[in-house]
Amino acid sequence: MNTSDAAQPLAINTRELNLWYGTFQALFDINLKIKQGIITSLIGPSGCGKSTFLRSVDRINERLGYVRIKGAIEVLDQNIYEPHVELAQLRKQVGMVFQRPNPLPISIRDNILFGHRIHNDKTSSKSEEDAIVEDALRQVLLWDQVKDRLNQKASVGLSLEEMQKLCIARLLPVKPSILLMDEPCSALDPKGTAAVEELIWELRGRYSILIVTHNMAQARRASEECIFMLMGKVVEHSRTEELFVTPTHKETADYIEGRYG
């Protein structure tokens, strides 16, 4: 596995990560070093473990009582499976974006402030909240489109692209370090996909972004490093252009050339 510039600080570091759904093993000995401040994509055929891995990083898989995990996942040098780690604190550091936009059935403004109000001990003034809303919407390139309808219901009148940008914006007021995105463009048309890809690139550097995608062209366009998974294992991890132009494993070459998957 080629992971150049090993001295760069890590956002996520996994060691011998194994995961079972009941008796079915979905992840096998995952060892990954995912750098801070860049966009890393996860590719591979359906069922290879991409989304399972992503959901392990913010411990969503634990909601299923039959999931068993061995090994370690460190987020910013903290093993998230240590007993003292609080889920609320972890999910301030790690935000999750899903395949289909899921705005809450409340106003655009209240969507943005939802996490901030939950995680903040003190009540913010209206002017402070206004500044938080504007900053988050500007970061996702949505402010100009919605600034005159902040009190309208978020699930009405927004395009799917705008809803997905809003879902990303909703994460930002709690100041996460890492954004996990599980096929965030799969429900969007080509125009919406291009807009969300532009946004993801705009956010690089401010956040460490890990994106699962079934779209290899998207992985090539919108990531700096790429991880290829197959049957629950990491096959290859390198700079995106290297992985697509000069893959070191036959399985990787077969997949990106469309011979299976």
| Structural domains of the chain in order of their starting residue, each with its CATH number | 10-256 (3.40.50.300)
pLDDT of residue 110: 97
Q: Give the bridge partners for 97, in sequence order.
A: 181
Q: Are 16 and 31 in contact (CB under 8 A)?
A: yes
Average pLDDT estimate for 4-26: 88
Q: Is the pLDDT of residue 3 over 50?
A: no
Q: What is the C-alpha to C-alpha distance for residues 157 and 42, in angstroms, rounded to an integer?
A: 32
In which band, very low, low, confident or very high, does the pLDDT at 261 lie, cut at 50, 70 and 90? Answer: low
Q: Is the pLDDT of residue 6 over 70?
A: no
Block residue for tokens 């978020």? 154
pLDDT of residue 137: 97
Q: Give the bridge partners for 124, in sequence order.
A: none
Query: Could you report the per-residue pLDDT of 139-169, keeping only the tens digit for each?
Result: 999 999 999 999 999 988 899 999 999 999 9
175 torsion bin: left (phi>0), alpha (psi -120 to 50), beta (else): left
Query: Could you report the per-residue pLDDT of 212-256, keeping only the tens digit for each?
Result: 998 899 999 999 999 999 999 999 999 999 999 999 999 999 999
In which band, very low, low, confident or very high, does the pLDDT at 189 lie, cut at 50, 70 and 90? Answer: very high
Q: Give the bridge partners for 238, in sequence order.
A: 226
Q: Which residues contact 61 (CB under 8 A, 6 or more apart)?
A: 19, 52, 55, 67, 69
pLDDT of residue 89: 87
pTM for the whole structure: 0.91
Average pLDDT estimate for 111-125: 88
Q: Are 42 and 49 in contact (CB under 8 A)?
A: no
